[in-house]
Every structure is written in structure tokens, then in C-alpha cells.
Amino acid sequence: MSTSSTAAPGAAPRAPGAPVQPLRLSPLHGPALLLGTMALSLATFMNVLDSSIANVAIPAISGDLGVSPTQGTWVITSFGVANAISVPLTGWLTQRFGAVRLFTVSVLLFVLTSWLCGFATSLEMLVFFRVL
């Protein structure tokens, strides 16, 4: 049995104590580049669309939840603050978990919390789900 279970197939075994060489991936080309570009573009569009809908819907949100329009703007403010906090963390999170895994989990959580926002029955619930 090999002592190095993480070595790539066909790679030379690493000497004990030798530094680990990072995996070098080549840039995307062709269909993979197109698919990656489309996925990132759709995710960005989804984020902008979500913000735009919330801005336009402030009067309806305020009326449905029985709060003033000024209180309703917390929906927008909370989302902006959450973005301002989370965007700088993406570099560290990408290194920690990987870009594809982070992107996939982020999109799934975005869809889930957007769905939960639709079922919010109070301003506090709505703001909480927008922050998430």
C-alpha cells in the first residue's frame, strides 16, 4: 500500500517533508468556457434582478406586512449590508472550499432563501431571510 493516498495517478511519490506542489489547472476553452461564462452571467443577473424587484416592490411589501415604507427599505438595506460583508470573504471561502463548490452552494442557498422570503409573514422574517 502506498504511503501517499493523495498523489495524482502517475505522479512520482513525494519525499517526506517535501513541500506540496499546488495543482495547476489550465484555463477553460471552448464549450467549458462558454458554459462557465453563462453560469456566472446568469448568477449575476439573478442577483441584480432580485435587488431590482425588491426596490420596486417596497410599497407592496410595506402594505402586505403592515409597516411603513421607511421600515420597508430595511429589506434593501439588509441585503446591501450582507453583500458588503460577504463579497470580501469570497476569496478566502474560494481557497477554503473551491470555486465550483462555493458557487454551487451559494446559488442553491440564494434560491432557498429567496423562496423563504416569499413566505415571510413579518418584516423581521423578511429581513432575516434577505440577510441570509
Residue 8 to residues 12, 14, 27, 116, 120, Cα–Cα distance (Å): 8, 11, 20, 42, 48
Predicted confidence at residue 18, as pLDDT, reads 67
State which residues form the domain around 87.
30-131
Predicted confidence at residue 36, as pLDDT, reads 85
Predicted confidence at residue 125, as pLDDT, reads 92
Does 84 fall in a domain?
A: yes
* Each residue's pLDDT tens digit, 19-55: 777 777 778 788 888 988 898 898 889 888 888 888 8
Does 54 fall in a domain?
A: yes
Does 124 fall in a domain?
A: yes
CA atoms within 13 A on the CB side of 80: 8
* Each residue's pLDDT tens digit, 66-85: 888 888 888 888 888 988 89
Does 82 fall in a domain?
A: yes
Domains held by the chain: number? 1
User: DSSP code of 122?
Assistant: S
Does 35 fall in a domain?
A: yes
Does 13 fall in a domain?
A: no
Does 102 fall in a domain?
A: yes
Does 103 fall in a domain?
A: yes
Of 89 and 12, more confident = 89
